Chains A and B, each alone.
Chain A
């Protein structure tokens, strides 16, 4: 039972990441490889505030979201200059830079040692210390993100995003400020990723920079490419499949070391096969 709850918590966290990344990649057509950076900012701000300053989890979460949004704004302004594979490359660069900061700004982040002893959330004397209570919280937040994403993509704002994906120039001719739309959705997605980061920090109670690398951004991309670009349900399905996959590999009997690498082999093969046979993913509507 504990094990199932553990998987469900992971699923909630990765659903949030996939849903938010899908808003940027799947709906707006911007191939961002920097999502793990905002995930990391959320986790670190929450962790530092809770451990260093005894703040409440929800205060940490709010501050983490705010920090991620403040960081996403200039990043997205720089990214606005690029398209296609240059966009992917520069966004990847930002992930590397944020990772370097987490790793090297030791006075604040404690570098490679990470931040241990992050507590579980507490609200009005109610402590989410047992796993089930935590799962409920994680699911509520994931559902909230799903609902918000749904509201965004079905609004007129969301339709403009899809139009940007299909033909940004034509939309510009109609008088839409496409840069503003891209900026706003990027910042919203960063805020959602920070929520996932805060949950992760509190759940595992220990964070270090190596959870927030370029490879993790690639993993998030694999989730939504598998599930389907431009599909919210697809993002959730992709998260489910790729969270369960390593567990299956473990049951097959690989040692943990090999299983971790086998997981990457499988992700890689999935990406290659999808690009060949189903570039829109399982339930998606958009091909890169």
Chain B
């Protein structure tokens, strides 16, 4: 196994997960103008649902995955209806929404810990095993699936945003919610759909992480932070930027792991964020505000 190919491959794999979270965070931010910190916990809900359905109830894996994604989507949608929409109609500031989402994140994470204990648990027994070798580097089947899913989701988002009436409405809302409302777009309903969609994507990320490494109730925060960092360095509100940002972040992290040591990964990720915000606040693809 050679170092450099493996390093690149690891970055692509980690980047795929960050991209899933980053794109969904970015799209929710585009329509709601706040960072939904509960998004990572929603991803964890997806992973744990599959754990429960497939391991405890013994359901067929495919069915469990579909239901797990549905559970994550439903959780995100419920948060939007119960917490964020009422706050929006009250003209709450983005900081209030942020604090409320912090509360939602804390509740979800603690509930997962109560239901499933704080122990590290893995979905790896359920996932297809085996690995491939590419240019002297190894990649497992699950990791390959993760990469494919990330690309599929990117293409899916692109199709939805550019080819459907719903996508048009979403782009209108992200330009200006009030005007979108005036021209007859039911903005609340559209934002609800965005939450449904993006939470489902987060759920996919949670499930794939569970299969690749494992599940912990606290996994949500670090997943979310990586997603948010990817979204910001890519250019907030642009899902394509978030996709690129995710791979850039993963590459920097893996170079850091190689050159310094693995423990500094999170610190390094935030270092990248702060540097970007200081020197290129609009991100890779963003326009200057």
Contacts and interface: CB of A to CB of B under 8 A. Distances in A.
Interface of A: 31, 78, 81-82, 84-86, 88-90, 92-94, 96-97, 100-101, 103-104, 214-215, 218, 221, 225, 257-258, 261-265, 267-272, 275-276, 279, 287-288
Interface residues of B, number: 43
10 closest Cβ contacts across the A-B interface? A271-B103, A268-B106, A93-B270, A268-B107, A264-B110, A100-B267, A288-B95, A272-B103, A275-B100, A268-B103
A175 B5 CA distance: 57
A103 B266 CA distance: 12
Contacts of A258: 114
Given A85-B94, A225-B99, A288-B99, A97 B270 contact: yes
Contact of B266 (A84, A96, A271, A272): A96
Contacts of B109: 264
Contacts of A78: 274, 278
Nearest to A79: B274
B92 interface: yes
B102 interface: yes
Nearest to A94: B270
Contacts of A81: 277-278
Given A271-B102, A275-B96, A93 B107 contact: no
Given A85-B98, A265-B111, A271-B103, 14 more contacts: A84-B93, A88-B98, A90-B277, A93-B273, A97-B266, A97-B267, A97-B270, A97-B271, A261-B111, A264-B109, A264-B110, A275-B87, A276-B90, A288-B93
Interface in B257-283: 261, 263-264, 266-267, 270-271, 273-274, 277-278
A275 B263 contact: no
A279 B110 contact: no
Interface string B80-106: 000100110010111111111011111
A271 B106 contact: yes
18 contacts: A84-B93, A84-B94, A84-B95, A89-B35, A94-B270, A97-B271, A214-B221, A221-B102, A258-B114, A267-B103, A268-B102, A269-B103, A270-B103, A272-B83, A275-B96, A276-B90, A288-B93, A288-B96
A104 B105 contact: no
Given A31-B95, A104-B264, A269 B107 contact: yes
A103 B274 contact: no
Contacts of B232: 89
Among B103, B263, B270, the one with the most A-chain Cβ atoms within 10 Å of its Cβ is B103
Nearest to B270: A93
Nearest to A271: B103
Contacts of A215: 106
Interface of B: 34-35, 83, 86-87, 90, 92-100, 102-111, 113-114, 118, 221, 225, 228, 232, 261, 263-264, 266-267, 270-271, 273-274, 277-278
A279 B274 contact: no
B110 A96 contact: no
Contacts of B270: 93-94, 96-97
Contacts of B261: 104
B95 A85 contact: yes
A30 B205 CA distance: 33
A263 B266 CA distance: 27
A276 B278 contact: no
Nearest to B79: A272
A234 B232 CA distance: 35
Nearest to B33: A85
Contacts of B106: 215, 218, 264-265, 267-268, 271
A261 B113 contact: yes
A42 B185 CA distance: 53
Contacts of B107: 264-265, 268-269, 272
Contact of A85 (B34, B83, B225, B278): B34
A218 B102 contact: yes
A268 B98 contact: no
Nearest to A254: B114
A265 B274 contact: no
A272 B98 contact: no
B109 to A, nearest CB: 7
A82 B95 CA distance: 13
Contacts of B267: 96-97, 100-101
A100 B277 contact: no
A275 B111 CA distance: 21
Contacts of B35: 85, 89
B104 A268 contact: yes
Contacts of A31: 95, 98-99
A276 B87 contact: yes
Among B86, B90, B97, B100, the one with the most A-chain Cβ atoms within 10 Å of its Cβ is B100
Given A93-B274, A268-B106, A279 B83 contact: no
